[in-house]
């Protein structure tokens, strides 16, 4: 009988809850056609039409050091790359398949170079691994919800042996956990329909992972997909419960608490445009200003944000993504203290922004200015040690203006006469509390 150990769990997730911000990298054969990582499934593409991308995978500009430095520049604390996505193509030198990067014209173990580059920049390293595999002959084809050949009866499943597939999948996970040094995070994707939990031999899988990588974090998608919270949420954790919840392209309205009301560890996975994999026709990039505010929102609700980039077939992160990362990094240079190791405040959300907190310091994120002094709802003057702008450290006085004399129970900050905020995206006021 599995027994959940709270102390070991809290120790595992400690670094994650301090980092708060990470990079996701979706890269593989699908980056060559440039129609997203689900191109085979979406277009019901036969494997014969997909395999030419394998022969053309040169990745001539692959530079994981540049990727890691872009993440570090943006203020991120960890990076997760797709070791294997649903198409079954491996970016690592698996001994269990020929469908891998070392057999392409690229000819290299991309995972090995990636983990070494990320560690060299002082960042935590993670790998994404798909439980799904559209390349393997024993994975369900006809009638599966997602397989490219799901609607073609010629691909019926009578000769397929799912246990043989699971042996293969478990073997690859052992390879990933054994050959690339200490991993900080494993991002499995994903449980659906009847393929959840023990259908993946989940207990055996996680026992293997925990034996080979004792401190690694695991997401909750062995049990669920992007929807669903999992058994840790129900306070009935299975051996394969995962360490954090993974809402996708969505921020929970009030954070996530389990059924007993205790806050959970979670990470919102977010795309820069509308695709995870490279898609040059998708120009719907979220501006850096929006992503900064959404990062703040995640932290103010007790969660993380992992922001995706989708390099092209040559290995280049799109210029739009790099520009956005640079702008986020400029803001994080000045205000990262209000994100890293921070969490929610007991104060209610103000109308003009959000609040994060770390110990005795409140970080009041001002997205838009107020008319007149800034109200700090829920605080009293005698509780406050000091007020200052986080960027530059300028002291901010407590307001004594007559304009708020009708509200003696509310503390107001005097930001000065200029109605234009120092940072138009998010000006951060640090409030140091006494005691």
Match domain 6-340 to its CATH number in 3.20.20.80, 3.40.50.10860, 3.40.50.720, 3.40.630.10: 3.20.20.80
Question: Which of helix, strand or coil describes residue 350?
Answer: coil
| Residue range(s) of every CATH 3.20.20.80 domain in the chain | 6-340
Q: Where in the chain is the domain with CATH 2.60.40.1180?
A: 345-433
Instruction: Round to the nearest angstrom and report the end-to-end CA distance of the chain.
Output: 45
Separation CA 94–CA 419 (nearest Å): 59
pLDDT score of 2: 86
Q: Is the pTM of this model over 0.75?
A: yes
Token duo for residue 240: 């394969």
* Bridge-based pairing state of the strands 361-366 and 353-358: antiparallel
Region 345-433: CATH code = 2.60.40.1180
**Contact at 8 Å (CB) between 118 and 80?**
no
Is residue 277 within 8 Å of 37, Cβ to Cβ? yes
127: part of which helix (H) or strand (E)? strand 124-130
The confidence score (pLDDT) of residue 391 equals 97
Q: How is the beta sheet containing 124-130 ordered, strand by strand?
A: 217-218, 185-189, 124-130, 78-84, 21-25, 304-309, 267-270
* Other Cβ atoms closer than 10 A to 248: 16
Report pLDDT for 435: 82
Query: pLDDT value at position 136?
Result: 98
Provide the residue-wise pLDDT of the chain in tens; the chain has 435 residues. Answer: 788 999 999 999 999 999 999 999 999 999 999 999 999 999 999 999 999 999 999 999 999 999 999 999 999 999 999 999 999 999 999 999 999 999 999 999 999 999 999 999 999 999 999 999 999 999 999 999 999 999 999 999 999 999 999 999 999 999 999 999 999 999 999 999 999 999 999 999 999 999 999 999 999 999 999 999 999 999 999 999 999 999 999 999 999 999 999 999 999 999 999 999 999 999 999 999 999 999 999 999 999 999 999 999 999 999 999 999 999 999 999 999 999 999 999 999 999 999 999 999 999 999 999 999 999 999 999 999 999 999 999 999 999 999 999 999 999 999 999 999 999 999 999 999 998
């Amino acid at each position: 009988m599995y027994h959940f150990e709270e102390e070991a769990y809290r120790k595992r997730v400690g670094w994650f809850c301090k980092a708060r911000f990470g990079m996701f990298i979706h890269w593989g054969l699908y980056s060559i056609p440039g129609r997203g990582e689900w191109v085979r499934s979406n277009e019901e593409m036969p494997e014969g039409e997909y395999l030419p991308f394998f022969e053309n995978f040169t990745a001539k500009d692959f530079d994981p050091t540049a990727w890691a430095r872009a993440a570090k520049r943006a203020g991120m604390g960890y990076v997760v790359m797709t070791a294997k996505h649903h198409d079954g193509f491996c970016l690592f030198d698996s001994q269990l398949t020929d469908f891998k990067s070392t057999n392409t014209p690229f000819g290299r173990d991309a995972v090995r170079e990636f983990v070494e580059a990320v560690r060299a920049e002082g960042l935590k390293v993670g790998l994404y691994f798909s439980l799904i595999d559209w390349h393997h002959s024993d994975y369900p084809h006809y009638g599966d919800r997602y397989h490219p050949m799901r609607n073609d009866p010629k691909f019926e499943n009578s000769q397929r042996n799912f246990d043989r597939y699971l042996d293969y999948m478990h073997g690859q996970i052992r390879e990933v956990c054994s050959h690339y040094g200490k991993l900080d995070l494993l991002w499995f994707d994903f449980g659906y329909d009847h393929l959840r939990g023990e259908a993946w031999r989940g207990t055996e899988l996680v026992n293997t992972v925990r034996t080979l990588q004792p401190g690694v974090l695991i997401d909750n998608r062995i049990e669920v997909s992007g929807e669903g919270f999992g058994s840790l949420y129900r306070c009935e954790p299975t051996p394969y419960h995962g360490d954090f919840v993974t809402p996708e392209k969505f921020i929970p309205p009030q954070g996530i608490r389990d059924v007993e009301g205790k806050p959970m560890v979670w990470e919102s996975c977010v795309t820069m445009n509308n695709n995870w994999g490279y898609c040059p026709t998708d120009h719907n990039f979220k501006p850096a200003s929006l992503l900064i505010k959404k990062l703040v929102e995640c932290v103010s609700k007790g969660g993380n944000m992992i922001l995706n980039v989708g390099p092209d077939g040559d290995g280049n992160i799109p210029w739009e993504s790099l520009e956005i990362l640079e702008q986020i990094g400029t803001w994080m240079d000045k205000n990262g203290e209000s994100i890293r190791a921070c969490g929610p405040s007991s104060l209610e959300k103000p109308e003009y922004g959000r609040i994060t907190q770390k110990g005795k310091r409140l970080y009041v994120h001002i997205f838009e200015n107020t008319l007149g002094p800034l109200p700090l709802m829920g605080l009293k003057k005698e509780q406050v040690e000091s007020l200052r702008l986080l960027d530059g450290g300028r002291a901010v006085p407590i307001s004594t203006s007559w304009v708020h004399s009708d509200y003696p129970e509310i503390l107001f900050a005097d930001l000065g006469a200029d109605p234009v905020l120092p940072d138009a995206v998010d000006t951060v006021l640090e409030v140091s509390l006494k005691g």
